[in-house]
Amino acid sequence: MKKYLIVGLGNIGEKYQNTRHNIGFKILDEVAKEHNVSFETDKLGDVTSFRFKGRTFVLLKPSTFMNLSGKAVKYWMQKEKISVDNLLIVTDDLNIDFGTIRVKAKGSDGGHNGLKDIQEKLATNKYPRFRFGVGSNYSKGRQVDYVLGEWTSDEESQLIERLPKSVEVITSFGTAGLANTMNNFNGK
């Protein structure tokens, strides 16, 4: 049975719950809801798993805070014996328009501290990632305030449409493969 580790990046705590930086957590919550599973607190994060079309998906929301996500990713990859090819990191991206999906096989950290830490801990930038666009509607020097800011009511209503598509991206990654997922969802 093929096994996949899907990691949603975010920050723990109520004050971060509805922030743009926590889209990884929000997407994994939607996946869990769709597959009728609940997260449990475990070592270095909240974890759950489900089976779908002969695959096992392990969902992880690290409790290490965004900038130290690599420790949790590496631990759960080793614990579950999951290769880097079967790892998918779900994160926000300021350089992509709000709601736009971009799945890639590898890449730079793009200035994202969570991705930077994962790259350092795994000693590679060749791991699949699912970037969810949060846009760049902020003033110069206000990037941190923007990503740690809460969704606008307009964004919230659009998220209702975008979250089910994000669930499809994750299940496609495990069932149809990375290349097909990129072809079917990138830019959508």
**Residue 138 is assigned to a ligand binding site:** no
Q: Residue 139 is part of which domain span?
A: 2-185
Check if the beta carbon of residue 47 is closer than 8 Å to that of residue 40: yes
What is the CATH number for 111? 3.40.50.1470
- Per residue in 67-95, pLDDT (tens digit) is 999 999 999 999 999 999 999 999 999 88
Q: How confident is the model at residue 187 (pLDDT cuts 50, 70, 90)?
A: confident
The residue-averaged pLDDT of 119-125 equals 96
How far is Cα 29 from Cα 8, in angstroms, rounded to an integer?
Answer: 9
- Spot the catalytic one: 4, 10, 19, 21: 21
* pLDDT score recorded for residue 65: 83
Q: Are 15 and 9 in contact (CB under 8 A)?
A: no
Choice between 6 and 145, residue whose per-residue pLDDT is larger: 6
16 is in an annotated binding site: yes
| Gyration radius from the chain CA atoms | 15
Lowest-pLDDT range of 18-22, 73-77, 88-92, 107-111: 107-111
Dihedral sign for Cα 25, 29, 32, 38, please.
Answer: positive
Is 67 marked as a binding-site residue? Answer: yes
36 is in an annotated binding site: no
The pLDDT, as a whole number, for residue 110 is 83
Q: What is the pTM of this model?
A: 0.94
How many independent structural domains does the chain possess?
A: 1
pLDDT at 144 over 90: no
**Contact 115/124 with Cβ under 8 angstroms?**
no
Local confidence band at 137 (pLDDT 50, 70, 90 cut-offs):
confident
Read off the pLDDT band of 139 (50, 70, 90): confident
- State the Cα–Cα distance between residues 12 and 65, nearest whole angstrom: 6
pLDDT at 138: 80
Does 35 qualify as catalytic in the annotation? no
In this predicted structure, the answer to whether residue 140 has a pLDDT above a threshold of 90 is no
